A and B are shown apart, each in its own frame.
Chain A
């Protein structure tokens, strides 16, 4: 089933305008990202806002964010089997597709962060097994291969349910622990480091797993809602209820863990931890991240999930998802940036920044970080790549299924075959 032919078929069947516009926009953003990367290769990482004090930035926390986003799909597809949640089955293929796309984009996100991207092969030639990064690359590769295989099996399962049923179940039992391992290992990149008290907590792995489930589920929800709006996908009420429940529970757990970490740091008076939390709390220079995390990503989605009046508004689930994702992104940014901004050495003149500017000091005590257009360009380009993979995959896998109860709003009669309906049929 070639992508090109399916895309053509899709174009012939539906109004070509919007989808063509969508692809054109995505290609333009990706081209912009590629141009930014070529510029960065020529200039060096001086093209970014990172320097020796804040030596990881937008790339790394967006990488951690995309790793988190990849959770939802696979965990949902696996939960449908492992815990027998039938209502989640319609989301299996969309979820695993998004998981594969997310983890692929996350892996690519590391490349522009490397000073010597063409030496990345050294990781496979001279791996250092005590480095969490090596384990992370290993588990990312496994996870990606697994998602692709799982997607293939789920696709076959739609056509021949009886033949592939056992395989789907077996893969589900492998998928769940793999997903949890992926997020734990990614958390350990940060959590194991004794140098930075902001990171060095055993809560990091569970926190990453929970925030990954939160953002991943929210992402799959948004993709499903978008597919329902524009792509003839159907999202049964029962499935929505489960999504709402997943988001609510994981959001509460996420805020609980972040809060528990704050309390631990605040109660003590350890200077290096205290100075980190002071950067984030109200009146600190990075308090906007605190507000993004607790109000934009906490209070607002909780209100849309719990307050009856808000809950009944159309699109409350989508709104809650958007805000929950923003909150998780703020958490990732806060984790990485504040970890670096918080001074390692609290004495003047601090650390050298590594570049020379006659107008400013070569030293910083409290780190500063402003991403440049190059970083934004590359991150947006890779985000566009994610959306492209998902859109193409959606078309290629013929995920548009007619709902079990009555035709969907965008059922244009362009169903590639009645078999695709089997997906929807499973729900009941």
Chain B
């Protein structure tokens, strides 16, 4: 498979600055629109967390979003936008029995909609819970679909289609159809706070390279060894009373 793929010299990555995120869900809604996600689908979502927590570190304060952690007046609140982490060593790629999920050599993990058999093993294997399955066809919000709106192929493989086939798994594509023509993923474009940075890790002068190499950006659940290409800048906080 790798031999047939055209060599790409980039290595895409995203850095999300949790200092800037206010939990407005604009990225999640923008993602839903540009990718024509049917009702009940969220490729991208914003979790309510305490600052600097990995995704499975401590029990939630509440089942509801926007509820702070702690006891008044010592409350804390942060947000963690989570979509596909585009892992370099992706468990979903390893378990897919038919090589429908594959990693392009610029770091994008994509799904071949024409090959997926719908076994959902990838959903069992993903530690971030970012994959969605099409349980019953496509049902859209009134007003129809917007966004990219046409099929997109990578090396002859269908990796995006606006009207979703029933019975296959899908997820965030890093907006491959936008990135391939030099645009940024739509969540990066739409974030009102500029909390998301997208770029090429192989270019040492790019902003993502600097944030990853010098800015202290971290990966989610890095102990699992999945080596995601999505990084998070920790919340820098100063606690009163401490030096």
When C-beta atoms are compared, the residue in chain A nearest to B56 turns out to be A272
A420 contacts across to B, CB distance below 8 A: none
Contact B40 A362 (CB under 8 A): yes
Among the 9-residue stretches A123-131, A164-172, A289-297, the one with 4 or more Cβ atoms under 8 Å from chain B is A123-131
Contact B91 A128 (CB under 8 A): no
A56 at the interface (CB under 8 A from B): yes
Among the 9-residue stretches A13-21, A43-51, A230-238, A384-392, the one with 4 or more Cβ atoms under 8 Å from chain B is A43-51
Q: Interface SS of chain B: helix, strand, loop or mixed? A: loop
Contact B166 A44 (CB under 8 A): yes
Say how far B221's CB is from chain A's closest CB, in angstroms. 9
Choice from B47, B91, B115 contacting A193 with Cβ under 8 Å:
B91
Contact B136 A346 (CB under 8 A): no
When C-beta atoms are compared, the residue in chain A nearest to B137 turns out to be A44
A130 contacts across to B, CB distance below 8 A: 94-95
Among the 9-residue stretches A72-80, A148-156, A347-355, the one with 4 or more Cβ atoms under 8 Å from chain B is A347-355
When C-beta atoms are compared, the residue in chain B nearest to A364 turns out to be B63
Which residues from 67 to 126 on chain B have a C-beta closer than 8 Å to any C-beta of chain A?
67, 80, 82, 91, 94-100, 115-121, 123-126
Choice from A131, A196, A356 contacting B94 with Cβ under 8 Å:
A131
B196 at the interface (CB under 8 A from A): no
Count of chain A residues with Cβ under 8 Å from any Cβ of B? 60
A275 contacts across to B, CB distance below 8 A: 59
Given A128-B97, A344-B56, A348-B47, A195 contacting B117 (CB threshold 8 A): no
Given A345-B47, A347-B60, A365-B60, A56 contacting B166 (CB threshold 8 A): no
A395 contacts across to B, CB distance below 8 A: none
Which residues from 19 to 40 on chain B have a C-beta closer than 8 Å to any C-beta of chain A?
38-40
Q: Interface SS of chain A: helix, strand, loop or mixed? A: loop
B41 at the interface (CB under 8 A from A): yes
B147 contacts across to A, CB distance below 8 A: none
Q: Mark A114-128, 1 if CB is under 8 A from B, else 0.
A: 111101101101111
B134 contacts across to A, CB distance below 8 A: 44, 115, 354
A375 contacts across to B, CB distance below 8 A: none
A132 at the interface (CB under 8 A from B): yes
A133 at the interface (CB under 8 A from B): yes
Given A116-B116, A123-B98, A349-B45, A344 contacting B128 (CB threshold 8 A): yes
B151 at the interface (CB under 8 A from A): no
A347 contacts across to B, CB distance below 8 A: 47-49, 53, 55, 60, 80
A43 contacts across to B, CB distance below 8 A: 136
Contact B95 A132 (CB under 8 A): yes
Given A113-B119, A115-B117, A352 contacting B55 (CB threshold 8 A): no
B133 at the interface (CB under 8 A from A): yes
Choice from B39, B124, B135 contacting A44 with Cβ under 8 Å:
B135
B63 contacts across to A, CB distance below 8 A: 348-350, 365
Contact B115 A126 (CB under 8 A): yes
B237 at the interface (CB under 8 A from A): no
Choice from A50, A117, A352 contacting B42 with Cβ under 8 Å:
A352
A116 contacts across to B, CB distance below 8 A: 116-118, 165, 167-168
A194 contacts across to B, CB distance below 8 A: 91, 127, 224-226
B175 at the interface (CB under 8 A from A): no
- Measured between alpha carbons, how far is A252 from B48 in the docked complex, in Å? 45
Contact B136 A56 (CB under 8 A): no
A356 contacts across to B, CB distance below 8 A: 38-40, 139
B129 at the interface (CB under 8 A from A): yes
When C-beta atoms are compared, the residue in chain A nearest to B67 turns out to be A348
Which residues from 262 to 319 on chain A have a C-beta closer than 8 Å to any C-beta of chain B?
271-272, 275
A345 contacts across to B, CB distance below 8 A: 47, 55-56, 82, 128-129
A131 contacts across to B, CB distance below 8 A: 94-97, 121
A123 contacts across to B, CB distance below 8 A: 97-98, 117
A201 at the interface (CB under 8 A from B): no
When C-beta atoms are compared, the residue in chain B nearest to A197 turns out to be B56
Contact B98 A45 (CB under 8 A): no
Given A55-B123, A132-B95, A120 contacting B117 (CB threshold 8 A): yes
Identify the A interface with B (CB < 8 A). Answer: 43-47, 50-53, 55-56, 110, 113-117, 119-120, 122-123, 125-128, 130-134, 137, 189-190, 193-196, 271-272, 275, 339-340, 343-357, 362-363, 365
Leading 3 A-B pairs by shortest Cβ distance: A115-B118, A115-B167, A46-B136
A45-B118, A47-B136, A344-B55 provided; 8 other pairs, C-beta below 8 A?
A44-B136, A53-B129, A196-B124, A344-B56, A345-B128, A348-B47, A352-B42, A365-B63
19 pairs, CB–CB < 8 Å, chain A vs chain B: A45-B136, A51-B135, A110-B119, A114-B117, A116-B168, A127-B98, A128-B94, A128-B97, A271-B56, A339-B124, A340-B124, A344-B126, A345-B82, A346-B56, A347-B55, A349-B47, A351-B45, A354-B132, A354-B133
